[in-house]
Structure formats: C-alpha cells, structure tokens
Structure 1
Amino acid sequence: MMSVKTIADQMRFDMRLKLLATSSIAAVTLTGCSEGVLSPQGPIASAERQILFNSLGIMLAIVIPTILATLGVAYWFRSSNLRARYMPDFEYSGRLEMLVWSIPAMTVLLVGGVAWVGAHDLDPRKPIASAVNPVRVQVVSLDWKWLFIYPDQGIASVNQLTVPVGTPVNFELTSSGVMNSFFVPQLGSQIYTMAGMVTRLQLQADRPGAYRGLSANFSGDGFADMRFAVNAVPAEGFAQWVIATRRAGPLLDAQAYADLARPSEAVAPFTYREVAPDQFNNILISATQPNDTSRLADLASQRTEK
C-alpha cells in the first residue's frame, strides 16, 4: 500500500501537471489572438471588437451577480444554518418570477440592441469616410484559391492581396462556382461570395503589415489551403508594386481564366501583368453556366469584334 507521504507527493505532481497544461492552453490562446479579431488593424475590425467587448460586459454584469446569488443561496440554506426557513409547501412568488424572467429579458434587449446598432453602423456596403479615394478590388473565389483583380490598375493577383495603408478598399466579390466566404480577421467583416451575384465590402488597413486572409466556408477538398496573404503597404509601396506587376507575369484573358478555374490546391501566389476588358463581368455571367466551358472565350471574342 502507498504511504500517506507518497499519496501527497503524487497529488502535488498531478497539480503541477494541471497548472502546466492550463498555462500552456492560455498561452496558445493568447498567441492566437495576436492575428485574430481581437487584434484589429483597421476601423471596421476595431468597431467589431468593440461590439464584442460591449456584449461581453453586458453579459458579465448579469452573469457575475447571478453566480454570486447562487453561491449565496447555497450558503444560506446549508444544513447547519438554523436561521434559514424550510418551506416545503412553497409554490409561487410573483416577485421571484419577475426577477427570474427579467434577467434573461434584459440580456436579450441589451445585447440585441448593441448588435442591432452595430450592424447598421458596420453595413458592409457603407463607404468608409476618408479624404483618399478608395482602391477598387474585384474578388473571385475559385476551387481552391482567390483571384484579385484591380480594374483601375489593369492587373490581377492570385492568393495575394496588396493594399495601400490608410486607404479604403472597395471590394466587389463573386464566386466561380460553390458559395464561399471571404474573411480577413484583422481587418474585419466576413462576407459570402456566390456565383452569378456580387456582394460588396468596405475595408481599410491602418497599419503596414502582413495579415492573414482565409476562406471561412467549407468548399471541398482544398478548403484547408484556401488562404491568401494581405500585404498592407504605404501608398508609395503600393504604386511601386503596381509598376512591378505590370512588367511581369501572364495576361489574364478568357483562356488564362479557364486554366486558373480548374480545381487546384495550395497554389503559390503569382500575378497577372494585364487583365482583359470586362473580365470580372464575364466571370460573373459565365458562373451561371458552369457546363459551358467556351462561354468566356465566346464573350471575349464578341467584345473584340464589336
């Protein structure tokens, strides 16, 4: 049989293991927050984090007193407290019913009000107030990669999004097939992409850096690798990137898009030096006819003839 000392040592060892495991989990959790919604790098993400904090504060203001009241009731009605009244025939109390139902009702009203106001303030289509003209980016979710077209600059990139710091970015998003979801946690506002439809989103990066973009909606075998890098650079750096992109890479026309649209996984980022006119609109139209592989080429030839 184990001695009392051995049992005590084993208990202390188990306690150390539990503390170590708890500390490790906390460290991993806090590390993950450094690249997530709790580390915003733009006005939209900052406003969304504030909504989370406001909701948390409201819930804690209700949950903590409820927990304390539960502990207080358990302590007061303990078997050793002879002053506590035992009421086996108790059936109903109007005041107690009002208290019990008012707490969840107040939670719903307050948290719902915060979410309702925030949803209107953070409408994805609502322009971001700025003295700088926004940069337009057309986004296409493919299997399993992201295509970013810069219509005003006449260039495009795959799995790489470069934006100027302090400048609003006006996104137009669609899908080549299955529904997907565009999400940059540190910039905010996840939004869906759907074939034959255009959704709109306004984002802005306030600080230079490299941010993680991802697909937040399962879309098949290559979903796990459907990520993209968001490079926020100063305005001068963005202009230099545009110039460098125009000097290298292939042309994004109907045939190049048809090749790109074929399912592929873990695609390394690359750029297109030039984009055919109305390429995004052609993609939008062709997405409603996925079995017609020549649709894009036909549309491109018709526009050329005109």
Structure 2
Amino acid sequence: MLRLRPLLLASAGAFALSGCQYHVLSPQGWVGDQERNLLIISTLLMLIVIVPVLIMAVYFPLKYRADREDMSDYDPTFEHSNKIEVVIWGVPILIIVALGWFTYDYTHKLDPYRPLDHLGAGEPIEVQAVSLDWKWLFIYPEFGVASVNELAIPEGRPVNFSLTSSTVMNTLSIPALGGMVYSMAGMETKLHLIADTTGTFPGRSAHYSGPGFSKMTFDTLSMTDEDFNAWVAKVKETGGELTRASYLELEKPTIDEPVHSYASVEDGLFGRIVEMCVEDGKVCMGHMMMQDELGGGGLAGIPNAAAYSYDRARTIDGFGNLIDLPEPEVNAFHEAFLNDPDAICGPDFARTSARTEEKNNG
C-alpha cells in the first residue's frame, strides 16, 4: 500500500491539472506567438547551465566518493585548470549576452504601445477598455456601441486598445493573444493585439483589486468580419443607452456582473472617464493640472473641495460595499487660512489644528 501512495498522489495531481488551459504555450495571435518564442528561447538558454549542473550534482558525488576502490585519479597537487576556467566563465557570459540580445530585440518588437501595422493585416479596430469594480466595459467608438464582460473582435485585424480604470489599478490580460497592460485611474494606456484564428479566448484582470477580483473575467470572441458585423448589429438592436448617468450606475461595485451591452454611447464618455469628471460639477484632470500650473485655485477654491474629490465617492469596505462618506467640508485649517493666511506658518497653529482634528475624530 505504501508503494501505491506516490502513484496515487501523482495521479491525483495530474487529474487536478487536467482542467488547466495553457494558452501561453498555445497562442492564437502574433503577439502571443512572439512571447511564446521568447519564453522557449530563454528556457533553453538557461537549461544549458541547469541540465549540466543537475547531471554533475549526481555524477561527481558518485564518482569521487570516499569509499571508491580506484583512487588512481586522485591528485592532491591540483589547483588550477585553464580549460575549466574557460568553461565556467565563458559559457555563462555567452548565455547572458544571448539573453540580453533576445530581450532587447523582443522588448522593442513587442512594445505594447507599438501598433501592429507592420503585419500587413486588415484594418485596425479601436476598443476603449475601462476596468470597473469588478467588471470590464468595452466601448467601440467607431460603431457607437459598448459591452460589459464580453469582448468581440474580428479575426485577422489588429485591435488597438485604449485603457483606463474607474478606481484601482487593474491589468487587461488575454493569455491566448498575448501581452497585458495596466489600467489606471486618471491615465490612458495602450495595448495592441491581434487574433489569427476564430474562437473564444478567456480574459481577466491579472492584478488583485479587491473582493470581486476572482470574478473579474470576460470572454474574447474572435470571429469573422461578417459575424462581427452581425454582432454589432445585434447590439444596436437589443442594447441600452450608455450615458453619463447610466455609466455612474454601472460603475457601482458588483461581483459576477452578467454580460450585457449598450446600443449607443454618449459622445466623449471615455474621455470624461479618463479625466475623472463623468459626474456633473467635477473638475476634469486636465483643468485641474492647468489650475495647478497657474498657481492653484487660491482662497476662492478652498470651499469647492468637493469638485476636486473623486475617491471618496468610491470608498468601499472589505466586502465591496460602498461606504457613504460625507462630502468634504471646510475644516478649521481652511477657516484659519481664509481668515489669516499667514497664521498657518506659525508653530502654534499646527499644534492647535492637530488637537482640533483629534478632538473631532475622537
């Protein structure tokens, strides 16, 4: 029975791994092919060292063990060998040079910001991807439609992604197509992918983002141009309207959001999402930076703190529920600054302000 235990454990492990999908090693797009090739090349180069070391780790202790009968090759005066030095230093140096070259070449070749125009493929398609809590919104500006937790793309045509986030940092990852790039609030990042075949490829966020992270997945539907056009037509017939108001409702945290679509998208919505000013009365990031460059809002801008506040309305607890925080108010610090701007430079005000805040919080 004891002899069967290792076999049973190995069988159980193989059965548990049988459901794994190795899309990284079986890519369905040019970018994924290149990344797979780089992975294989790097692995083979490293095996040049690893395999001999593993062999020598067994061979040398057996050959030169203390109780061996033949001791004729024992040489107590041995201290140096040029041949061994050449192998020990030369091989690693050659491997490092090769790894450096391949890394340099593939880093530039697979720059996620680099368009795939050199492939000579079909007309690119633009997709604006927004990571929400905990779902993905895909906007197709050329067609005026959008979908949630479903990405449809035409086969053989480059997909130019523009990414941003409504809250925390996420990562758009479609392993079968290769590459992944972070989405960040207040920023727009780029990613370029292409699908060489039709099929359904899983996608997800590859960066932990809270309690709903495990359900932040979507299917990538690669289809022919005809099927893609039919998908767009179906969305236009059955979808709702994605306006600023409906986006703010969609933005609220949900876990395992079902797939649904929007037949129309309000003009400029993605730009407002990037600028963090979808809500009425919020100052856009571009205007905020311009004000900072010109010296700030001055005393008159202090009471308008709510117009510059973004994260407070999106604060959640450990279970993903929104926390209703009060709007920021003019506190003692601001009041003192309004009354006497020079007072905040003195040490007495700092101690008084700290005691006042501690009292309010306590």
Q: Same fold (TM over 0.5)?
A: yes
1:244 matched residue in structure 2:
234
Native 8 Å contact 2:153 2:223 kept in 1: yes
2:237 and 2:13 mapped to 1: Cα distance?
A: 47
Unaligned runs of 5+ in 1: 1-12, 294-306
Q: In percent, how many aligned pairs have the same letter?
A: 36
1:118 matched residue in structure 2:
106
Once the two structures are TM-superposed, the CA of residue 119 in structure 1 deviates from its matched residue by 1.1
**Structure of greater relative contact order (alpha carbons < 8 Å, 6+ residues apart):** 1
Q: Over aligned residues, Cα RMSD in angstroms?
A: 2.2
1:107 matched residue in structure 2:
95
Native 8 Å contact 2:121 2:156 kept in 1: no
Unaligned runs of 5+ in 2: 278-284, 286-308, 314-362
1:243 and 1:53 mapped to 2: Cα distance?
A: 42
Once the two structures are TM-superposed, the CA of residue 215 in structure 1 deviates from its matched residue by 0.6
1:238 and 1:155 mapped to 2: Cα distance?
A: 13
2:174 is aligned with 1:154: no
| SS of aligned partner of 1:181 | strand
Native 8 Å contact 1:155 1:272 kept in 2: yes
1:303 matched residue in structure 2:
none
1:298 matched residue in structure 2:
none
2:43 is aligned with 1:53: no
2:310 is aligned with 1:290: yes
Change in Cα spacing, 1:258 to 1:292, as seen in structure 2 (3 Å) is: farther
Matches within 5 A, 1:179-258: 179-258=169-248
- What is the TM-score with the length of structure 2 in the denominator? 0.71
> Which residue identity lines up with residue 74 of structure 2 in the other structure?
R
1:142 and 1:255 mapped to 2: Cα distance?
A: 15
Candidates 260, 266, 288, aligned match of 2:256: 266
> Which residue identity lines up with residue 107 of structure 2 in the other structure?
A
2:93 and 2:168 mapped to 1: Cα distance?
A: 39
Listed one character per residue, the Cα deviations across residues 231-266 of structure 1 (whole Å, up to 9, x for unaligned) are: 111110000010010012221111011111111111
> Which residue identity lines up with residue 25 of structure 1 in the other structure?
G
Number of equivalences: 279
Once the two structures are TM-superposed, the CA of residue 105 in structure 1 deviates from its matched residue by 3.5
Change in Cα spacing, 1:131 to 1:73, as seen in structure 2 (3 Å) is: closer
User: Larger radius of gyration, structure 1 or 2?
Assistant: 2
2:22 is aligned with 1:39: no
Change in Cα spacing, 1:264 to 1:33, as seen in structure 2 (3 Å) is: closer
Listed one character per residue, the Cα deviations across residues 64-113 of structure 1 (whole Å, up to 9, x for unaligned) are: 122223333223312213124163x8776666555434444333332232
1:59 and 1:151 mapped to 2: Cα distance?
A: 45
2:270 and 2:75 mapped to 1: Cα distance?
A: 74
- What is the TM-score with the length of structure 1 in the denominator? 0.84
